[in-house]
Chain A
Amino acid sequence: MTDRPDAPSALGQRAGKIDGPPKVTGAAVFADDLRLPRMLIGKILRSPHAHARIARIDVSRARALPGVHAVITGEDLPERYGVIPVSQDETALKIGKVRMVGDEVAAVAAVDEDTALAALALIEVDYEPLPEILTVEDALTRSDVLIHEDAKNGNVTKRVFQRYGNVDEGFAEADVIVEDEYLYEASTHVPLETHCAVGHYTPDGKLTVWSSTQIPHYLHRYLARVLGIDAARVRVIKPEVGAGYGGKSDPFPLEFCAAELSRRTGRPVKIAYTREEVFYAHRGRHQFKMWLKMGVKKSGEITAIDYKCWLDGGAYSSFGVVTSYYAGVFMTLPYTLPRYRFEAIRVFTNKPPAGPKRGHGAIQPRFALELHIDKAAAALGIDPVDLRRRNCVEPGTETVNGLRITSVALKECLDAVTKASGYHEKRGRLGPNRGIGLAASTYMCGANHSIYASEGPHSTVQMKLDRSGQVAIFSGTADIGQGSVEMLGRIAAEVLGISTRDMRVVEGDTDLTPVDLGSYSSRVTFMAGNAVLQAARRCRDQLAGPVAAKLGCAPADLVFRDHRIWPGDHPEWKDDPAHSLSFRQGVEVAEAATGQGIGAMGSYRPPRIGSRFRQTSVGPSPAYSFTAQVAEVTVDPETGEISIDRIWAAHDCGKAINPQVVEGQVEGCVYMGVGEALLEEHVFRGALYQSPSILEYKIPTSLDTPPIEVLLVESHDPEGPFGAKEAGEGPQLSTVPAIANAVWDATGVWMNETPFLPERVLKALEAKRKAEAKGRTAAVAPAPRGSGSGT
C-alpha cells in the first residue's frame, strides 16, 4: 500500500479548489451575509481622542431611543485580553482611558443600522485629553507619559536582546563592513471583507459567535474568558472569510460586543466594521527603523551581523511581543551566519496597534539584509547571486541561534529565477534607467510553540467515511482564501484515491471540528496537512484489511486510486469488478466486516526542537520555505516613478499539493510586496491616521500590478505532508528588496526607506546627480568600506 502508485495522483494537478464553485457563484456565505430571525444590528462608539481620560459616559439618552435594545460600556466587559498571554492589555470597550483615535468606548444594539447610528450620536462622553506619544523616540524619552499605566516597562512593550558568538571578532575578520540605516514603513492588510461578527446567546446558556476570524480556537478561549462563560458552552464558527493576511488574527472588540449585546437582549446581534473602522483595528505591519552592520570576507563569507531595530507598536501589544522576536530570529537564514547580535525594542504609541501582517516581523529585516547583501556584493565586486550561494545554508544543519534546517532548495530557486529572468544577461546592461534586481528569503512553516503554553497537538483532524462513499473532514483550520480546505481535501484524496469534489470539508467550527490553532505563521499546510494525512492513512488502514480479505490479497498490496481499490501488482484488475472494488464498496465491505463505522483522528505536534537557547522559543519551526525573486524595473528619471516591468518568483514550497493554489499564494505575496514597495504608507496628522479608506490608502489595482511569473521548486521536506511546506507568506519577503536592488541597478541609488514613492526616488536621484556634479560618488554608492567601518 503506497501513497504514490503509478496511477494518476491527486497531488500536483492543476485543478480548481473544492470550495471554488460557491465562491464564483455568490453562494459562499460570509459573516455579513448571515441573517438570523430577530437579529439586531450593533455599532461601536469610538474615541476621537488619541490619548484621554474618560471622565464621564452617559448612555441614558441612547438607551431611551426607541428601537435601541442595549447599550454597553467598558465596565460591562471588564475582563482583559490580548492574543499573547504575556501581554493582556486590551478590553473590548475601554475603561477609564482611551489610547488612540478609534478606541472603542461603547456599543449599542438596535433594530436596524440607522437606529444604532442614531443611538451612538446620543451617547455623551467627556474626555480629558492627555499628552500623546507619537513616535518611538517620544515613547523612549517621555517617561512622564504612560500609555499603559500598569505596564512593567513604561512605554516599551518588549525589548529583545540576543547574542550568539562574538560579533566584534567577526567584524575584525571581515574585509568589508557594510553598515546602514533602513526604514520600513508600516502598512495594513485591507482584506476586502471588513471584520464582521454575529453573536447569538440562547436560552440554554450557550453562546455562538460567527466571525470573520483567522483564529477560531483562540477566539473561543477569549470569548469564554471575557464573557465569563464556560468554554464548553461557547461555539465559534468561522464562515467564509474574505481574507485576512494576518489582520484577523487577534480577537477583536466586535466579537465580544456582539456576544455581550446578544446575551443582554436575548437576540442575535451582528456587528460589521466599516472600512474606516478596519483601518483603526489595524494590527498591520510595524514600522521598523533598523541599523544593520555586516562583515564579509573577500571570499564572500559573512562573518558577523550586528542589528538593532525599533518597532512602532501603536496603542496595544497585539502580537508585538512575538513580532519583537521575529524581528531578529530569521536573520540567521538563509545565509550561514557564525556570529550575531540583535536588539529589538517595540514601543507603545497613541496610534492604531501594529500586529501580524503576511511575513510577520520578518519582512522588514529581510528588506535591510537583502539590500545589504547587494551592497556587500558591490563593494567586493562579487556577483550578488554568487554571494548568496556562497553563504546558503545547507540541509541538515542548525543555525547559530539554534534553528533546525531540514530541506533547502534555495540554490535551485536562485538558478530557476536567474535563468527565467535572464538576470545575469540583463544586469547592468538594460540601458539607462532600467534595472534588474534579485533578493532571496526564507520563512517558517508554523511556530514550534503555540501562543499559550500547551503540550497538546497543534492540529487535529477528524475524518468520517460511510457507505455513501462520501468522506467528511472536520478540521479547526480557518480557510481565509489561502486554500486550506483544498489542501486538506487534496491530501485526503491522494491517500484514499478519490476525487476532492466528493468530499465535504467542515472547517473552523469549535463545536464540530477538533482543535487547530488557526491560520497564522504559515502553519496550516505543514501542521493540519500532516494531521489530515495521518487521519486519512488511518481510515485507509481501516478499509485495507477487510478489502484485502475480500479481494484475496495482502492489505499492503492494495492501491487506492480513481475511486477504485485493487491489488497494485495487477494494474489490469483496476476496473474489473471481480478483482477490485469501488471506493464506496470498500467502505461498505469494511463496515460489514468490522461492524464498526469508519473514521479516524489525525494529529500533528511539532518535534521538540529549538531548546538549545531558551531565548529562541520564538522562531523555531519544523521547516522553512525559501524564495528567490527577480524584479525588472524602469525608473523615470524626471518623475521618480518606478514601473515594474515583471517579477519572477521561484519558491521552494516543498511539494505543491495543488500547484495553482500555491502559485496563487506566491502571486498574492508578490502583489502585496509591490504595494508595500511602491504605494502603501501610513501617514498621520498628529495621531490621526490620514488615509482610512481604499481611495486614499493606495493598494495596487490591476493596472499597478506587474506581470508575475511563478516558478515552483519542490524540495520534498522530510517532515512535510507529502513533502509540502508553506507558500502563503514567505514569497512576500523578497519582493520589496528585489525591487530596491533593481532600482539600484537602474539608477545607482539605494532606496533604504519604503515605500519608494516617486518624490523619494526623485530626491535620491537629484542628490546623486548633485554629488556626481561635484565629483563625489561616495554619498550614494557603497564605499569599499561602509561608513563607520569597524575593521
Chain B
Amino acid sequence: MRQILRLTVNGEAAESLVAPHQSLADFLREDLGLTGTKHGCDLGDCGACTVLVDGEPRLSCITLALECEGREVTTIEGVARDGRVHPVQEAFDRCVAAQCGYCTPGLVLSCVALLRDNPSPSEAQIRAGLSGNICRCTGYTKIMDAVREAAVELAGQAPSPAEGSRRD
C-alpha cells in the first residue's frame, strides 16, 4: 500500500505517495524528474546512483524512498550553490574528468562529501573516496586531478548549507 513520504530534496520540501518497494533512485527519477541520478547496476555495486542523504553518500538504487522520510536528499541537480555550479563540478569540467558522463553525477556527490570531510585529502584518501563509484572511462586519473583542483578552490570558501548539514 502506498504511503506518504515527506522529505526535502535539493532544499525544497517534497511530498508524495510512494509504494514501499519504490527505490529512492526511481522516486527521484520518475516522480521528481531528477534524472541526473543514474541507474548503473541497480544492485548497489557501481555507485552511479549515489546521492547525498543528510549529507552522506547513499546508493539510491538500494535505498527505499520511504526510508528517507524526514531527511534531506541532495542530488546532482542540487549541488550548485547560489546559481553557480559547485567547485567540484567546475573542476570535473575543467579537467575533463567526465568522459561519457554517466558515472559523473554519483562521483561528483561522493567527491563533494569527501572534500567536506577532508578538505585536503592525500592521494590515497582520494582513491579511497572514489572507490565506491566505478568509472569505466577515465582510469580515475583526471577525476583525481579534479578532486585536487577542487580542494584548492574550496580551501578559500565557506561550506554551503547543503553540505554543512550532516545529521545522524
Besides the known contacts A24-B92, A33-B35, A275-B46, 4 further A-B residue pairs in the complex with CB atoms under 8 A apart: A30-B102, A702-B127, A702-B144, A703-B131
Contact, CB under 8 Å: B42 / A274? yes
B141 adjacent to chain A (CB < 8 Å): yes
Q: Which residues of B contact A (CB under 8 A)?
A: 29, 33-43, 45-46, 48, 75-77, 80, 85, 89-90, 92-105, 108, 126-128, 130-131, 133-144
Contact, CB under 8 Å: A694 / B77? no
With A24-B92, A26-B105 as known contacts, state yes or no: A32 contacts B138, CB within 8 Å.
Answer: no
Query: Within 8 Å CB of A12, what residues of B?
Result: none
Contact, CB under 8 Å: B102 / A192? yes
| CB-based nearest B residue for A34 | B35
Contact, CB under 8 Å: A671 / B104? no
Query: Within 8 Å CB of A17, what residues of B?
Result: 93, 96, 98
The one of A16, A20, A191, A702 that contacts B140, using a Cβ cutoff of 8 Å = A702
The one of A240, A245, A274, A667 that contacts B101, using a Cβ cutoff of 8 Å = A240
| CB-based nearest B residue for A26 | B36
A663 adjacent to chain B (CB < 8 Å): yes
Contact, CB under 8 Å: B43 / A193? no
| CB-based nearest B residue for A191 | B136
A27 adjacent to chain B (CB < 8 Å): yes
Query: Within 8 Å CB of A413, what residues of B?
Result: none
Contact, CB under 8 Å: A660 / B142? yes
Say which one of A89-97, A480-488, A600-608, A618-626 lies at the interface with B: A480-488
With A17-B96, A24-B92, A703-B128 as known contacts, state yes or no: A243 contacts B136, CB within 8 Å.
Answer: yes
A767 adjacent to chain B (CB < 8 Å): no
Contact, CB under 8 Å: B98 / A193? no
Query: Within 8 Å CB of B29, what residues of A?
Result: 33
Query: Within 8 Å CB of A30, what residues of B?
Result: 35, 38, 102
Contact, CB under 8 Å: B93 / A26? no
Query: Within 8 Å CB of B41, what residues of A?
Result: 275, 693-695
Q: Which of A1-57 contact B (CB under 8 A)?
A: 15-17, 19-30, 32-33, 35
Instruction: For the complex, give the distance between the alpha carbons of A480 and B80 in Å.
Output: 25
Contact, CB under 8 Å: A245 / B136? yes
A272 adjacent to chain B (CB < 8 Å): yes
Interface centre among A15, A27, A702, A705 (most CB of B within 10 A): A702
Contact, CB under 8 Å: B36 / A27? yes
With A190-B136, A668-B137 as known contacts, state yes or no: A23 contacts B98, CB within 8 Å.
Answer: yes
The one of B38, B46, B99 that contacts A664, using a Cβ cutoff of 8 Å = B99
Query: Within 8 Å CB of B102, what residues of A?
Result: 30, 191-193, 240, 242-243, 481
With A660-B96, A663-B142 as known contacts, state yes or no: A29 contacts B134, CB within 8 Å.
Answer: no
19 examples of A-B residue contacts, CB within 8 angstroms: A15-B94, A20-B96, A24-B89, A24-B98, A26-B36, A26-B75, A26-B104, A30-B102, A242-B102, A243-B136, A274-B42, A664-B99, A672-B136, A674-B139, A693-B43, A693-B45, A695-B43, A695-B45, A699-B134
Contact, CB under 8 Å: A32 / B36? no
Q: How far is the CB of A276 from chain B (nearest CB, A)?
A: 9
Instruction: For the complex, give the distance between the alpha carbons of A599 and B77 in Å.
Output: 37
With A245-B136, A702-B140, A705-B140 as known contacts, state yes or no: A29 contacts B99, CB within 8 Å.
Answer: no
Q: How far is the CB of B122 from chain A (nearest CB, A)?
A: 13
The one of B85, B128, B135, B140 that contacts A24, using a Cβ cutoff of 8 Å = B85
Contact, CB under 8 Å: B138 / A671? yes
The one of B38, B40, B140 that contacts A671, using a Cβ cutoff of 8 Å = B140
The one of A16, A26, A694 that contacts B96, using a Cβ cutoff of 8 Å = A16
Q: How far is the CB of B46 from chain A (nearest CB, A)?
A: 5
Q: How far is the CB of B130 from chain A (nearest CB, A)?
A: 4
Contact, CB under 8 Å: B134 / A701? yes
With A26-B77, A194-B39, A702-B127 as known contacts, state yes or no: A242 contacts B100, CB within 8 Å.
Answer: yes
Contact, CB under 8 Å: B142 / A703? no
With A694-B43, A695-B43, A701-B134 as known contacts, state yes or no: A24 contacts B104, CB within 8 Å.
Answer: yes
Q: How far is the CB of B73 from chain A (nearest CB, A)?
A: 14
Contact, CB under 8 Å: B39 / A23? no
Instruction: For the complex, give the distance between the alpha carbons of A701 and B108 in Å.
Output: 16
| CB-based nearest A residue for B36 | A26
| CB-based nearest B residue for A486 | B96
Q: How far is the CB of A592 from chain B (nearest CB, A)?
A: 37
Q: How far is the CB of A710 from chain B (nearest CB, A)?
A: 8
Contact, CB under 8 Å: A192 / B134? yes
